C-alpha cells in the first residue's frame, strides 16, 4: 500500500485547508491532532503498565487521560451527582470521575464460553458487577480503576480478547453477523475477513492516527444485521452474475449531528481482496480525511464532497493499483426486523437461540449464568448483536425447549415483546460525560410500562433512547428516536426529557427520522407519549404498512 506524498489537486475542492495530510497539511490544526502528533495513542499502553497503574490516577498525564487512554478502550466516567444541565458548562476535568469505563472489543461479536466467563469475572472483581452489551457488539464495564488495568489486560489477552483500539481515532471493533458460518440462509460467511483485518491492521501504527473513529461492518446474512448503511465502511455479502460469492462495498455512513447514509461504490470485492480494499479505504481516510474540525472529521464528509465515483477511482488508482469489477447491490433484507432474536435452524441441523436482555444491561453474574446455561445444553459459542442482544449457537434440537426455559427463567427473553426486542438505549448520564439525561433505566421502565399498556402489540417498532445529540443508540434510524435534552415541564421547570424524532429506518427505504417540531416529552411523560403514538399508528395504518412507512 502506498501513501501518496502530494497527489494532484483534482481531489481538493475546498477553498480552505481541511488539514488533509495528502494535500500537505501536516501541521496539527487543533488540540486533538496535536496530541496525536506528539505521541501515538498506542504508546500509552506501556505507560499504563509501568507508571499509571503503579502510581495511581493522579499521576496520569492529562493528554493521556483525555486522549490516548481511548486507544485502549478507556474513558473516564462521569462524576456521580452532576446533573445534565451542567454537561455543557463544566470543564472536562470537572466532569471526570476517577473511575473508567472499559470497552472490551469483540470483533464479529464472537465469544467462547471461556471468554464470556473471563469478562464476567473481571466485571465482578473490578467493575462492581457492571456489564452492558453495546450496539456495536462490545461489552462495556464501569468503575474500573487504573491500578487494575494491567491485570485486566492480562486476563483478556490470555483468552484472545483485547481493548486495543476499542475507542479513539482508530479502526474500532469490526461488526459481524452473529450467525456467520452457521446461518441456513447465509449469502457468505465474513468471519475470515474480520479476522484477517484484525490480525493485519488492528494495533498497527499504519492506522493508529486517523482523523476520527472508523467503523467497519462485514456481514453476509440476509437480514443485513450489521446495519451497513450507517458504518464508515461496510462489506455486504452478494453473489455476482457469474455465481461467485463476494461483497458489495459501502462507504461513509454515520449518524450523530450530520447523519448520512453510506454510499455504494458499486464494486464487487472477492473475499481475498476484502482486507486490501478495507486498508485502501482506511488509507484514504487517513490521508485525505478532514482533520481541521472534529465535527467534520468522519469519512462521510469526504465521500459526500467527492462522490462515490471519485472515491472509487482514487481507491483503485492510488491505493489498490488495480480495478475492481462492478458488482450487484445486496438483495433486500428478508425482514424489517434485522436482528437474530428467537429460535431458528442452523445449516447443520442445530439451532441458534437469540435472546433479549433489557437494553443490553446485564452484569457479571448474569454473564456467568449465560455461560452456564449454554454449557448445560452442550453449546460452546455465544454472540453479541448490534441490537444489544445475545445469541447462543449450536443448540441440539432436543435441547431447545430446555434452554429456552432456562433463559426465560433468567429474564433473558427468547420470545420478547416488540418493546423489549426493539428498544435500545445508550449509556446515558449514569456514566457518560456528554449525557444530558438518564437513558438505561428510563428505557427499561418504558419497556415495562408499554408491555403492561399494550400487551397485544406485535408489529415491528424500534425505540432508540439517547442521552444527548450524539446518537450512540442510533436515534435517526429508529421509528421513535428519543434525543435526550432538558425540557420545560408544565410547572415551567427544566427537567430531563427528550426531543422526539419519528419515522427513521434503514433497509429498502432508508430514511432519517423527522424531528417533530415542538414535540418534546419529559421523562415522566414518556410512556404516555409513546403509548399515544403507537395507538395512533394502529388506528391509522393501512394493511401491511410498517411504522416507518
Contact set with ligand SF4 (CB under 6 A): 426-428, 432, 434-435, 466-468, 470-472
Taking the complex as a whole, the smallest distance from the CB of residue 475 to ligand SF4 amounts, in Å, to 8
Contacts of 163 (CB under 8 A, 6+ apart): 72, 73, 74, 102, 103, 104, 105, 152, 153, 156
User: Which cell numbers in the block locate residue 113?
Assistant: 464460553
Taking the complex as a whole, the smallest distance from the CB of residue 191 to ligand SF4 amounts, in Å, to 29
Structural contact between residues 473 and 484, judged by C-beta atoms closer than 8 angstroms: no
Among residues 167 and 177, whose Cβ is nearest to ligand SF4?
Answer: 167
316 secondary structure, DSSP code = I
Taking the complex as a whole, the smallest distance from the CB of residue 481 to ligand SF4 amounts, in Å, to 11
Taking the complex as a whole, the smallest distance from the CB of residue 170 to ligand SF4 amounts, in Å, to 18
Structural contact between residues 100 and 153, judged by C-beta atoms closer than 8 angstroms: no
Q: How far apart are CA 197 and CA 204, in angstroms?
A: 11
Chain residue whose CB lies nearest ligand SF4: 467
Structural contact between residues 100 and 141, judged by C-beta atoms closer than 8 angstroms: no
Angle value at C-alpha 205, between 200 and 209, nearest 5 degrees: 120
In this structure, the strands spanning 390-395 and 381-384 are antiparallel
- Give me the helix-helix angle, 440-453 and 526-540, nearest 10°: 50
Q: How far apart are CA 312 and CA 265, in angstroms?
A: 6
Among residues 342 and 504, whose Cβ is nearest to ligand SF4?
Answer: 504
Among residues 60 and 426, whose Cβ is nearest to ligand SF4?
Answer: 426
Residue 398 three-state SS: helix
Among residues 385 and 427, whose Cβ is nearest to ligand SF4?
Answer: 427
Q: How far apart are CA 11 and CA 13, in angstroms?
A: 6
Taking the complex as a whole, the smallest distance from the CB of residue 212 to ligand SF4 amounts, in Å, to 14
Taking the complex as a whole, the smallest distance from the CB of residue 494 to ligand SF4 amounts, in Å, to 18
Taking the complex as a whole, the smallest distance from the CB of residue 90 to ligand SF4 amounts, in Å, to 15
* Edge-to-edge strand list for the sheet holding 139-144: 74-78, 96-104, 139-144, 130-133, 361-363
Taking the complex as a whole, the smallest distance from the CB of residue 444 to ligand SF4 amounts, in Å, to 15
Among residues 222 and 427, whose Cβ is nearest to ligand SF4?
Answer: 427
Structural contact between residues 17 and 29, judged by C-beta atoms closer than 8 angstroms: yes
Among residues 42 and 166, whose Cβ is nearest to ligand SF4?
Answer: 166
φ/ψ region of 129 (left if φ > 0, alpha if ψ in -120 to 50, else beta) reads left
For residue 347, CA distances in Å to 110, 181, 189, 247 come to 18, 9, 12, 21
Among residues 18 and 96, whose Cβ is nearest to ligand SF4?
Answer: 96
Taking the complex as a whole, the smallest distance from the CB of residue 41 to ligand SF4 amounts, in Å, to 20
Among residues 208 and 476, whose Cβ is nearest to ligand SF4?
Answer: 476
Q: How far apart are CA 105 and CA 138, in angstroms?
A: 5
- Which of these, 310, 302, 249, lies nearest to 21 by C-alpha position? 302
Among residues 189 and 438, whose Cβ is nearest to ligand SF4?
Answer: 438
Q: How far does Cα 45 stand from its chain's mean position?
A: 23
Q: How far apart are CA 176 and CA 235, in angstroms?
A: 10
Taking the complex as a whole, the smallest distance from the CB of residue 217 to ligand SF4 amounts, in Å, to 19
User: Which cell numbers in the block locate residue 128?
Assistant: 462492581
Q: How far apart are CA 322 and CA 268, in angstroms?
A: 13
Among residues 103 and 421, whose Cβ is nearest to ligand SF4?
Answer: 103
Among residues 193 and 231, whose Cβ is nearest to ligand SF4?
Answer: 231
Among residues 75 and 351, whose Cβ is nearest to ligand SF4?
Answer: 75
Angle value at C-alpha 545, between 543 and 548, nearest 5 degrees: 165
Taking the complex as a whole, the smallest distance from the CB of residue 136 to ligand SF4 amounts, in Å, to 11
Taking the complex as a whole, the smallest distance from the CB of residue 259 to ligand SF4 amounts, in Å, to 13
Taking the complex as a whole, the smallest distance from the CB of residue 285 to ligand SF4 amounts, in Å, to 22
287 secondary structure, DSSP code = H
Among residues 399 and 466, whose Cβ is nearest to ligand SF4?
Answer: 466
Q: How far apart are CA 283 and CA 207, in angstroms?
A: 8
Amino acid at each position: 500500500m502506498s501513501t501518496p506524498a502530494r497527489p494532484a489537486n483534482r481531489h481538493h475542492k475546498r477553498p480552505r485547508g481541511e488539514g488533509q495530510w495528502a494535500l500537505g497539511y501536516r501541521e496539527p490544526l487543533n488540540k486533538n491532532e496535536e496530541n496525536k502528533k506528539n505521541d501515538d495513542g498506542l504508546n500509552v499502553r506501556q505507560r499504563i503498565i509501568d507508571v499509571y497503574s503503579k502510581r495511581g490516577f493522579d499521576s496520569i498525564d492529562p493528554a493521556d487521560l483525555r486522549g490516548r487512554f481511548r486507544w485502549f478502550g478507556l474513558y473516564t466516567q462521569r462524576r456521580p451527582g452532576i446533573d445534565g444541565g451542567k454537561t455543557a458548562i463544566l470543564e472536562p476535568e470537572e466532569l471526570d470521575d476517577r473511575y473508567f469505563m472499559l470497552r472490551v472489543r469483540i470483533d464479529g461479536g464472537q465469544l467462547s464460553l471461556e471468554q464470556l466467563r473471563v469478562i464476567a469475572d473481571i466485571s465482578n472483581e473490578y467493575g462492581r458487577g457492571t456489564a452492558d452489551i453495546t450496539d456495536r457488539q462490545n461489552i462495556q464495564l464501569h468503575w474500573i480503576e487504573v491500578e487494575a488495568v494491567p491485570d485486566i489486560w492480562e486476563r483478556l489477552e490470555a483468552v484472545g480478547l483485547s481493548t486495543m483500539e476499542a475507542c479513539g481515532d482508530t479502526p474500532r471493533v469490526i461488526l459481524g453477523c452473529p450467525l456467520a458460518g452457521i446461518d441456513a440462509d447465509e449469502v457468505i460467511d465474513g468471519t475470515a475477513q474480520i479476522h484477517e483485518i484484525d490480525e493485519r491492521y488492528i494495533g498497527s501504527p499504519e492506522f493508529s492516527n486517523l482523523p476520527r473513529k472508523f467503523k467497519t461492518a462485514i456481514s453476509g446474512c440476509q437480514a443485513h444485521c450489521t446495519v451497513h448503511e450507517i458504518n464508515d465502511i461496510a462489506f455486504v455479502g452478494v453473489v455476482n452474475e457469474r455465481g461467485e460469492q463476494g461483497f458489495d462495498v459501502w462507504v461513509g455512513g454515520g449518524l450523530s449531528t450530520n447523519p448520512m447514509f453510506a454510499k455504494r461504490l458499486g464494486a464487487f470485492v472477492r473475499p481475498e481482496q476484502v482486507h486490501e480494499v478495507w486498508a485502501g479505504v482506511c488509507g484514504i481516510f487517513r490521508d485525505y480525511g478532514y482533520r481541521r474540525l472534529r465535527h467534520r472529521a468522519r469519512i462521510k464528509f469526504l465521500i459526500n464532497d467527492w462522490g462515490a465515483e471519485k472515491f472509487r477511482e482514487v481507491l483503485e488508482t492510488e491505493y489498490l493499483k488495480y480495478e475492481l469489477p462492478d458488482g450487484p447491490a445486496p438483495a433486500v433484507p428478508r425482514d424489517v426486523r434485522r436482528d437474530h432474536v428467537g429460535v431458528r435452524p442452523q445449516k447443520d441441523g442445530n439451532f441458534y437461540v437469540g435472546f433479549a436482555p433489557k437494553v443490553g444491561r446485564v452484569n457479571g453474574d448474569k454473564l456467568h449464568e449465560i455461560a452456564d446455561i449454554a454449557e448445560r445444553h452442550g453449546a460452546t459459542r455465544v454472540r453479541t448483536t448490534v441490537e444489544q442482544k445475545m445469541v447462543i449457537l449450536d443448540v441440539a434440537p432436543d435441547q431447545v425447549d430446555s434452554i429456552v426455559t432456562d433463559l426465560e427463567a433468567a429474564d433473558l427473553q427468547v420470545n420478547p415483546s416488540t418493546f423489549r426486542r426493539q428498544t435500545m438505549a445508550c449509556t446515558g448520564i449514569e456514566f457518560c460525560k456528554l449525557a444530558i439525561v438518564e437513558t438505561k433505566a428510563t428505557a427499561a421502565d418504558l419497556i415495562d410500562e408499554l408491555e403492561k399498556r399494550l400487551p397485544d402489540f406485535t408489529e415491528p417498532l424500534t425505540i432508540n433512547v439517547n442521552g444527548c445529540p450524539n446518537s450512540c443508540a442510533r436515534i435517526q434510524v429508529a421509528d421513535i428516536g428519543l434525543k435526550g435534552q432538558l425540557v420545560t415541564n408544565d410547572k415551567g421547570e427544566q427537567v430531563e426529557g427528550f426531543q422526539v424524532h419519528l419515522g427513521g429506518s434503514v433497509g429498502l427505504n432508508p430514511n432519517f427520522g423527522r424531528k417533530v417540531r415542538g414535540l418534546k416529552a419529559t421523562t415522566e411523560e414518556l410512556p404516555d407519549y409513546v403509548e399515544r403514538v403507537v395507538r395512533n399508528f394502529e388506528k391509522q395504518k393501512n394493511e401491511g404498512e410498517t411504522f416507518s412507512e
